[in-house]
Amino acid sequence: MIPTRMLLRRMSNNVRHQSILSQRAEVQQEEPIRIIRTTEDNPQKHNRDHLNRFYTIPQNAVSQVMPRTSMPRRLHIQIKTFREACIMVREPAIELISYLEQTDYSKPPNKYVLYGPVGSGKTLTLMHLLHYGYVTEKILIRLSKNYVWNTREQNAAGTPLQEMIDFGIGRGKYTCDVINALLQELKAASTAGNCNTLVLLDGVNAFFGEDTLVKDSTFKPLYAQRVSLTQSFLDFIKYDWCNGAIIATVDSLAVKRDNQFDSTYPRFLLGKLGFEHLDPFLPIEVPNYSEDEFDAAIEYLKDRMWIRNLTEAGKRELELLSNRNPYKLMRLTAARTMSPSLVTKRLVSHPLSFENPIWIIASTAF
């Protein structure tokens, strides 16, 4: 027999324990739960309801949407570290998607130019649009005429476009000619209504720069206008075709010159020649993170267990040091082993590392 006094003591302890658990549960329920992800991974269905949220690119599409040779090196490292490719749904991408959905493709292609501070996310916005083009139906084009490369090698009319691409990859001597022929075939197919072509160019102002990495026989850098591929791409973004759209970015890092960081506006970065070639176009600014976007980025890093035990003071310090710039925030959170003074000194003395401009072309049939 258990004494009555001991039985009552056990009952009171159980009641006290249950009350403590219930209080903890109430506290946990009162804590706000921030939603930083969206389950909608189809960019065609993205709208303003998905703003400031991350969506995950399906694993089978990552290599197509984010090819290793066309993304910043640090972004590639981040994707490998987090084992997922996530993009924040931001206002510029939503705005562009809405324009593309409402475009009259029977007219010459509309041109859109993304601009903004270095590291604000222009390339990632372009990749968001690249994924938008990828999720639509793919094109299947056959050559409209014979392409004779030499006495023994040619691509006859009616053969698949892939055969000519494989030939250009295997024979470096004819690569420029193959690319030029490929662009002409895409323009012809779009004008004929066989496909809808979405052209994406990252760092388009590099086409109008004063020097390139290409050198002549005397090892002097060539002007961009003297490179054959430059003319092929400049012809491709003219208004002499229809059933397509052109989205480009201008970047201070695409062209190296003394005053390259003086302005981020398209008129300054493109110069007179580049501005006249693209005009008319619709400029769309890609700014630094807003307050909500910055909070979402911090929550994503917490979700991936990349930063832990971050206080409000530490979060405020990150906000001030990065000025809500996505690239600087990535650098700051990646440099966990550095002292704050060293990180600040490095960001001030060397704001950003130079990345080579990239050109991405995605052709899809909507």
Give the C-alpha separation, 182 to 185, whole Å: 5
Give the C-alpha separation, 303 to 4, whole Å: 51
Which strand (E) or helix (H) includes residue 86? strand 86-88
- With vertex at residue 180, the alpha carbon angle to CA 174 and CA 184, rounded to the nearest 5 degrees, is 140
Q: How confident is the model at residue 298 (pLDDT cuts 50, 70, 90)?
A: very high
Maximum mean pLDDT: which of 113-117, 129-133, 271-275: 113-117
pLDDT of residue 231: 87
Paired sense of beta strands 154-155 and 147-148, if any: antiparallel
Residue 107 has pLDDT above 70, yes or no: yes
pLDDT of residue 76: 83
pLDDT single digits (tens) 93-106 = 999 999 999 999 88
pLDDT of residue 317: 93
Residue 288 has pLDDT above 90, yes or no: yes
Q: 253 and 355 in contact (C-beta within 8 Å)?
A: yes
How large is the C-alpha radius of gyration of the chain?
26
Residue 255 DSSP SS3: coil
Is pTM beyond 0.75? Reply is yes
- Which CATH code, of 3.40.50, 2.40.128, 1.10.287, 4.10.280, is assigned to 110-285+355-365? 3.40.50
Give the C-alpha separation, 226 to 207, whole Å: 10
Give the C-alpha separation, 186 to 139, whole Å: 10
Alpha-carbon distance values, 327 to 50, 103, 276, 324, 331 (Å) = 22, 32, 31, 9, 6
Handedness of CA 228, 234, 240, 245 (dihedral sign): positive
The residue with tokens 């990646």 is: 334
The residue with tokens 């490369």 is: 149
pLDDT of residue 350: 35
Per the structure block, which two tokens stand in for 140?
A: 């299947």
Domain ranges across the chain: 110-285+355-365
Residue 77 has pLDDT above 80, yes or no: yes
Q: How confident is the model at residue 1 (pLDDT cuts 50, 70, 90)?
A: low
pLDDT of residue 27: 43
Residue 355 DSSP SS3: coil
Residue 16 has pLDDT above 60, yes or no: no
Share of the chain above pLDDT 90, in %: 29
Q: Which comes out higher in pLDDT, residue 203 or 89?
A: 89
Handedness of CA 214, 71, 301, 308 (dihedral sign): negative
pLDDT of residue 81: 87
- Residue ranges of alpha helices (H) inside the chain are 4-30, 59-65, 73-82, 91-102, 122-134, 161-170, 175-191, 228-236, 266-278, 291-303, 312-322, 326-334, 340-349
- Residue ranges of alpha helices (H) inside 254-290 are 266-278
Cis peptide bond upstream of 280, omega within 30:
yes
Q: How confident is the model at residue 283 (pLDDT cuts 50, 70, 90)?
A: very high
Residues 6 or more apart whose Cβ sits within 8 Å of residue 239:
108, 109
Residue 345 has pLDDT above 60, yes or no: no
Per the structure block, which two tokens stand in for 313?
A: 């003071």
Paired sense of beta strands 196-201 and 359-365, if any: antiparallel
Alpha-carbon distance values, 129 to 47, 245, 365 (Å) = 13, 11, 14
Q: How confident is the model at residue 292 (pLDDT cuts 50, 70, 90)?
A: very high
pLDDT of residue 160: 77
The residue with tokens 């440099």 is: 335
Q: How confident is the model at residue 113 (pLDDT cuts 50, 70, 90)?
A: very high
pLDDT of residue 11: 52
Residue 352 has pLDDT above 70, yes or no: no
pLDDT of residue 289: 95
Share of the chain above pLDDT 70, in %: 77
Instruction: Tell me the mean pLDDT in the region 140-147.
Output: 52
Give the C-alpha separation, 325 to 57, whole Å: 23
pLDDT of residue 3: 58
* Residue type (1 letter), 179: I
Paired sense of beta strands 244-249 and 196-201, if any: parallel
Q: Which comes out higher in pLDDT, residue 352 or 320?
A: 320
The dihedrals phi and psi of 330, each to the nearest 5 degrees, come to: -65, -40
Average pLDDT, the chain: 78
Q: 262 and 118 in contact (C-beta within 8 Å)?
A: no
- 203 class by beta-carbon count within 10 Å (0-12 exposed, 13-18 middle, 19+ buried): buried
pLDDT of residue 249: 93
Q: How confident is the model at residue 297 (pLDDT cuts 50, 70, 90)?
A: very high
pLDDT of residue 225: 76
Q: How confident is the model at residue 154 (pLDDT cuts 50, 70, 90)?
A: confident
